[in-house]
Amino acid sequence: MLTRLLSNDHPRSKVLAVLLVAVVVLLAATPILIPGAKALSVAAKVLVFIVLVASFDLLLGYTGIVSFAHTMFFGIGAYGVAIASTRMGPGWGSIVAGLAVSLALSFVLALLVGLFSLRVRAIFFSMITLAVAAAFQTLASQLSELTGGEDGLTFKMPEVLSPGFQLTESIDGRMLTYYLPFIAAVLLFLAMLRIVNSPFGRVLQAIRENEFRAEAIGYRVVYFRTMSSILSALFATLAGAMLAIWLRYNGPDTSLSFEIMLDVLLIVVIGGMGTIYGAVIGAGIFLVAQSYLQDLLKLASDAASGVSWLAALLSPDRWLLWLGVLFVLSVYYFPTGIVGRLRAAGR
């Protein structure tokens, strides 16, 4: 049963298998074992980024396409749910309608970008997608009547997902809102794992390794790359909807910021490109470090208060510096990503 769920793509490393199980169990048990709003918010963000990063890995790691427009589709999903819930009121119908329109829009835009840009090579395609993403972010900021402009949109969810809803003494609306993205993340991750291990996924890998040879043996490279772009965009749209449902808010900086695109790139590199499993490990490590590094540095700075230069070096204000150091070390010691390194060691 587990083999079928994992699409015969086993971790191929005992350490990796333990890490994956630990991440999944911890995410499932966070609302019960770890009290506090911050821990729950971090866990929910990890779930969203697992889907977002895995969808980008489908594009970059399995097809070799570097696109900077991925956050555009992420934002479309978030704005679809936000706009529908604002205009139609709280309800499951609003969520479904917003999600349907978002997926349709993402499909059309991904198809257009694929048809017009995927024939362009390497860096030129990346620049085109960057321009498209920047234009969409500007458009979202200016259409204030529809998107709320720079202030964004705050909306309500169905009553069962509201914080005041109480199913039992220990299960409330906040917990139910968390488990909705959790179930969605598990199902979407398994779906992407199935895609990359299907004949379609094997063709994508062949195109990544040698595009000219794949075309020479009869595969229509543009078709497969366009389909990969569309699938990646649709999964990113679903990740954006997950974020909007959890936050009950969306704005340009929340889902369309270029910083999100950089975070996705970093997580893919840290976790391991072309593995899908790297999204789970990379998102967990990166987002936990990003959220708790300041707290750890504060403890270290207080402990080193007797040595002024060391306390200054470990100041929480320098958390970005230390995050950068951790990233450099991870790339140096894990050049193929954590998953790639563990699989190599397992062999």
Average pLDDT over residues 323-333: 84
The angle formed by the CA atoms of residues 84, 151 and 237, to the nearest 5 degrees, is: 45
User: Would you state the structure tokens that stand for residue 313, as one six-digit string?
Assistant: 């070096």
Q: If we measure between CA atoms, which residue out of 135, 124, 122 comes closest to residue 71?
A: 135
d(CA 133, CA 130): 5
pLDDT digits (tens, 9 = 90+) for 36-70: 788 999 999 999 999 999 999 998 888 888 888 89
pLDDT digits (tens, 9 = 90+) for 84-134: 999 998 889 999 999 999 999 999 999 988 777 666 666 777 888 888 888
pLDDT digits (tens, 9 = 90+) for 190-233: 999 999 999 999 998 888 888 888 888 888 888 888 899 999 99
pLDDT digits (tens, 9 = 90+) for 259-285: 999 999 999 999 999 899 999 999 999
Q: Which residues pair with 249 in a beta bridge?
A: 154
pLDDT score for 122 = 66
Overall fold of domain 2-346: ABC transporter involved in vitamin B12 uptake, BtuC (1.10.3470)
Give the amino acid at 335. Answer: P
What's the predicted TM-score (pTM) here?
0.94
Average pLDDT over residues 165-190: 87
